[in-house]
């Protein structure tokens, strides 16, 4: 099924000039960029994005990280885009990510893990409305 998914190239990646290196991974794998923008995320946007983690011990840290400097939000389209993009990104913890995944290549830590991608059709719809309203 053709799907659209929401990806964030997070502040740690933009700070290290990795936007191009990350986009190459998606485009080489046949995913189409449908929409893209550089954003200074507000606290409200970050809190909405991480709503499911509200109340967890690392929630405030996640929100300050996502708002500390610009991020790139993009919508990618392709066959089974949601699972394919998550496979390209690798596991949440870069230490456990398979070789050649984006997080294994560039991730710094569990919190500063370089990229985000929606985990389901529902979250893709919800997250797209936060970043591209």
Judged by CB under 6 A, the stretch of 17-25, 73-81, 94-102, 110-118 that binds ligand CMP is: 110-118
| Sole binder of ligand CMP in the list 116, 124, 127, 131 (CB under 6 A) | 116
Choose between 37 and 53: whose C-beta lies nearer to ligand CMP: 53
Encode the chain in three state secondary structure.
CEEEEEEEECHHHHHCCCHHHHHHHHHHCCCEEEEEEEECCCHHHHHHHCHHHCCCCCHHHHHHHHHCCCEEEEEEEEECHHHHHHHHHCCCCHHHCCCCCHHHHHCCCCCCCCEEECCCHHHHHHHHHHHCC
Active-site annotation, residues: 116
Q: How far is the CB of 80 from ligand CMP (least distance, A)?
A: 18
What's the rounded Cα separation, in Å, for the pair 70 and 72?
7
Choose between 5 and 113: whose C-beta lies nearer to ligand CMP: 113
* Residue 104 within binding range of ligand CMP, rule CB under 6 A: no
Give backbone dihedrals phi and psi of 115, rounded to 5 degrees, phi first.
Answer: -140, 155
From residue 46 to residue 75, what is the string marking binding to ligand CMP with x (rule CB under 6 A)? -------x----x---x-------------
* Residue 120 within binding range of ligand CMP, rule CB under 6 A: no
Query: Which residues contact ligand CMP by CB under 6 A?
Result: 53, 58, 62, 92, 110-111, 113, 116
């Amino acid at each position: 099924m053709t799907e659209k998914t929401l990806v964030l190239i997070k502040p740690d990646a933009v700070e290290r000039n990795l936007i191009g290196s990350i986009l190459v991974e998606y485009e080489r794998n046949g995913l189409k960029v449908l929409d893209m923008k550089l954003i200074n995320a507000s606290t409200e946007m970050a809190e909405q994005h991480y709503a499911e983690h509200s109340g967890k011990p690392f929630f405030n840290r996640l929100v300050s990280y996502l708002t500390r400097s610009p991020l790139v939000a993009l919508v990618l389209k392709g066959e089974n885009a949601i699972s394919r993009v998550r496979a390209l990104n690798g596991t949440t913890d870069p230490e456990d990510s398979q070789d050649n995944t984006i997080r294994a290549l560039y991730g710094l830590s569990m919190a500063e893990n370089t990229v985000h991608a929606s985990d389901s059709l529902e979250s893709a719809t919800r997250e797209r409305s936060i970043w591209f309203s």
